[in-house]
Structure 1
Amino acid sequence: MSEQLKSDFTQRIIALQERVNSIHGDFADGRDADWAEQACERENDEVLNALESEAKIEIQQLSNAITRIEDGSYGICAECGDDIAIGRLKVQPSATKCIQCAE
């Protein structure tokens, strides 16, 4: 199971990195000469920045989860040492705390 999780997380990291690369490509395209279009592009840039930031955070969280899988601490609450519920890990695979400690 841990090898499958590592594979799933790795595939997700690859997809997220492709998204980040695509966002960088959008930024590299440059600006339109039209002022109204530039205003719209700036709004789009804000959205792209937010998406890039979220992707980078998720990449880091999944990388940390892979490390925890490798060292045997994945699924164990970093705070109390109890098991993290499978349902919680399905919803948030990078969770480091059980639901009680996360509150």
Structure 2
Amino acid sequence: MGRSRKPLRMADKEAVFKIATRSLPDRYAAQIAVGMTDAELLTALEAVLGIFGGSAGPGSLHVSQQGAGLKIWGSWEIHNTHTEPPLFQGKHTLAMARRVYQIADPDDTQLSLF
């Protein structure tokens, strides 16, 4: 029988993402300022996420991350990264990084609408 979990709100998912990638804005500030291609952002995220890591504590979000596949898990309880799907993976991690840290893609020729 499975245990019930406290659901994650969108703000919680964004907090999980920021915890897992917290060193990105500092380590890659110059590149973020001028924009990063998908390949550059992929390399940066792999470095930031590392081989495997995480953080947790009483009353805080439990976060796990893995650079291979750009995977990020998060929950309010302990989670099993072998049986539970990540919150973010692959292209969704790239898209979230662009949204959260406002990283432009110099390869995108679409003009900004705003």
TM-score by length of 1: 0.26
More strand by share: 2
Bigger Rg, which one: 1
